[in-house]
Structure 1
Amino acid sequence: MKKQLIAAGIAAALLTVAACGSSTYAATPFPTKPTEAPATPAKPKPQPNCGNPVASFAPEGPLPSPDNLPAGSFMETIKKRGRLIAGVSADSLNLGSRNPITGAIEGFDIDMINYVAAALGVDVELRVISSPQRLPVIMNNSVDIVARNMTINCDRWSQIAFSAEYYHSGQKSLVPRTSEVKSLGDLPKGTTICTPTGSTSYANLRARFPDLTAITADTDGGCLALFQSGKAFGISGDDTVLAGDAAQDPYARVIPGEQFSQEPYGLGISLQHKDFVRFVNGVLEQIKSDGRWKASYNKWFAAALGPAPAPPKAVYGR
């Protein structure tokens, strides 16, 4: 009888704990898996014909001073607001990343924003965005401009406008330093490679190496985390980004020589503000000619990519 009472008491206690637990605590969700490409890669959709993708809107005359911006222009709107709102990365070392000492976001892309803001005579408000957010924040006018290693192409021209090219990059791949592969093509079928979501790197990887398994992360830092945790064997993306990844991980290396795309970077701006695109192109012309572009390149990229090349030449014709 005593044993039966004890068993009944234990059962009642367990029921009480279960009842309390169900009303007080929520189950811990399992970590979400990285997004994986479909087993059969989709055929890339044909891009709309926009002519020469890197062709932008030519500046109209000399660059106006901050105190003499055209009346009714978007530049005047920004000037009255007192700040330029820019979408940027905070985890792409040397392009746009947060300094762990000062807390400031800095890098080559940030320099481009600061040059534009100085030409307008305003402060800068940086809004950290992920790769998939680059187009939406421009199209819904959450920001005035995006500087986040964004490749100019015809598909994007159908949704936003671009400045003239401000940097010429190319897609490469990062692998463990102990790996002796000279090309991603040397890897076994199904090897997992990470690219940022919403990037041209993903489409390029699927087209060039369809036997590899492509997974994605919303940020460049997300891909690095997957690589360092062993969930991705390597990372494929722009050389600028991979140079920053390798600088953060002594056990990683960028495969030399294998570059399988051309990635012209442009500053993204709304199609509603072509006057601002022309203004930004005037700023880019100035910094390319007066040495500021070269100084910025050497500060952020020379250690990993060598001395500054000639700045990319502007192409106009829209």
Structure 2
Amino acid sequence: MTLTVSCADSAAPHHRSPVEERAPAESATASTRTGTAENCDPLLSLKPPARMPTPGGRMPSGSAMERIVARGRLIVGVDQNTYLFGYRNSETGQLDGLDIDLVREISRALFGRPDRVQFRAVPSAQRIGLLQRGEVDLVAHSMTITCERMKQVLFSSDYLDSGQRVLVTDTSPVKTLADLAGQKVCTARGTTSLTELQRARPKVRPVTVSDWTDCLLLLQQGEVAAVSTTDNVLAGLSAQDPATRITGPRFTYEPHGIAVSKTTPELVRFVNGVLAHLRASGTLRALHERWLGPYGDFYPPAPRYRD
């Protein structure tokens, strides 16, 4: 029997043809991820303001927050195809998930209400470009903080730690990434997961798609042997198809942050103030437990700041 993607995500993905990726002649070094060679620490963000503005009140003059409030809405790039993080709820027709809830809390801190948000669904490969062109205020899209990306955008404090693993069907003999030597492994374009697959030894054959649900469909149809990305995303895929399982240890460390344009550092501080409040009140942990509790230990990490 052929399996199909669960209706947990009722928004039908745009199934583009998968692309088999060839490894570059010289793959990225580990310093891209850890920052050791570049003296970069991806976990250091900008400290929250000493005093947060009153929700729905006057924002600091000339700030990005003032412009957003004057506009009347926060514009955010999100996913709509990653169950548990950013997906279309089939019962309500609304976007839902951990990232979506965090955005609503930022809206609440700006406007005094959680619903003043214009969500813009974007593929992983377009996240940074949208920020750099000023088409969105934030990106909340299960995005790994890396030193390479920090050259292009700013990140909030780390709100989720995960690591890359492998998703296979429950009848697969595969236990680790090494067992997939020479086989097709699906991942999304524009992700750190693709970089890891391109430099995997023994070599695998990366196949890229636009959305994670496309990867799940290829796995269900037998077009790829596995899917590989962060285990928080894999948890959502596995939850949609009980005939799959996550296997093997984490082989990367993946801190997640909300991305902001380099031109608006005050907005990063504001977002970090929101996250600090959510941590102190227990709300951030409650959101993690709501969305990820059944799928593993994804408790929010403590923040670290560079100033």
Query: What is residue 22 of structure 2 aligned with on the other side?
Result: 38
Q: Displacement of 1:291 after TM fit?
A: 1.0
| CA displacement at 1:83 relative to structure 2 | 0.7
Structure 2 CA distance for partners of 1:248 and 1:41, relative to 1, 3 Å: farther
Cα shift at 1:186: 2.0
Q: Which amino acid letter does the alignment assign opposite residue 151 of structure 2?
A: S
Q: CA RMSD in A?
A: 1.8
Choose which of 150, 155, 159 in structure 1 pairs with 2:152: 159
What secondary structure is seen at the aligned counterpart in 2 of 1:208?
A: coil
Identity of aligned residues (%): 38
Of 253, 257, 275, the residue aligned with 2:245 is 253
Where do 5+ consecutive residues of structure 2 fail to align?
A: 1-14
Are 1:58 and 2:47 matched, yes or no? yes
Q: Which amino acid letter does the alignment assign opposite residue 209 of structure 1?
A: R
Residue number in structure 2 paired with 1:10: none
What is the distance in 2 between the residues matched to 1:124 and 1:278? 19
In structure 2, what residue type is equivalent to 1:114? Answer: R
How do 1:272-311 residues align onto structure 2 when only pairs under 5 Å count? 272-306=263-297, 309=299, 311=300
- Preserved CA contact (<8 Å) 1:94 1:300: yes
CA distance in 1: counterparts of 2:25 and 2:295, whole angstroms: 33
1:247-301 Cα distance to aligned partner (Å, 9 max, x none): 111221100x411001000100000000110110010000011011011111111
Aligned residue number for residue 3 of structure 1: none
Relative to structure 1, is the Cα distance of residues 210 and 37 closer, same or farther in structure 2, using a 3 angstrom cutoff? farther
Q: C-alpha separation between the residues in 1 aligned to 2:126 and 2:210?
A: 9
Deviation at 1:50? 5.8
Give me the whole-angstrom Cα distance separating, in 2, the residues matched to 1:267 and 1:50: 22
Counterpart mapping for 1:1-318 below 5 A? 33-38=17-22, 42-44=26-28, 47=32, 49=38, 51-66=40-55, 67-121=57-111, 123-187=116-180, 189-255=181-247, 257-306=248-297, 309=299, 311-317=300-306
Please give the secondary structure, in 2, of the residue aligned with 1:216: strand
For residue 32 of structure 1, report the CA deviation from its aligned partner. 6.7
Q: 1:208: Cα distance to partner?
A: 2.9
| 1:163–1:277 contact (8 Å) kept in structure 2 | yes
CA 288–39 in structure 1, closer or farther in 2 if over 3 Å, else same: closer
What's the CA shift string for 1:154-201, capped at 9, x where partnerless? 1111111111111111111101101132212123x3211011111001
Q: Which has the larger radius of gyration?
A: 1
SS of equivalent to 1:134: helix
**Deviations along 1:134-173, whole A, 9 cap, x unmatched?**
1011111110000001111111111111111111111111
Inter-partner Cα distance in structure 2 for 1:115 and 1:290:
13
Query: Are the equivalent residues in 1 in contact too, given 2:24–2:198 (CA < 8 A)?
Result: no
| Conserved 8 A contact 2:159-2:257 | yes
AA matched with 1:240: N
1:146–1:268: 8 Å Cα contact kept in structure 2? Answer: yes
Distance 2:202 2:208 in 1: 15
8 Å contact 2:160–2:255 — kept in the other structure?
Answer: yes
Unaligned runs of 5+ in 1: 1-30
Give the C-alpha shift of residue 68 in structure 1.
2.9
- Tell me if the contact between 1:166 and 1:264 (Cα under 8 Å) persists in the aligned partners: yes
TM-score (norm 2): 0.88
Structure 2 Cα separation of the partners of residues 82 and 71 of structure 1: 16
Indicate if the aligned counterparts of 1:170 and 1:261 stay in contact, CA closer than 8 A: yes
Moved over 4 A (4+): none
Counterpart-to-counterpart distance in 2, 1:207 and 1:157 = 21
Q: Report the Cα offset of residue 44 of structure 1.
A: 1.7
Give secondary structure in 1 for the equivalent of 2:196: helix
> What is the deviation of 1:116?
0.6
Residues 158, 78 of structure 1: alpha-carbon distance in 2 compared, 3 angstrom cutoff: same
Moved more, 34-43 or 212-221: 34-43
Task: Kindly indicate whether the alpha-carbon contact (under 8 Å) linking 1:41 and 1:206 is maintained by their aligned counterparts in 2.
Answer: no
- Whether the 8 Å contact between 1:246 and 1:254 is mirrored in structure 2 is yes
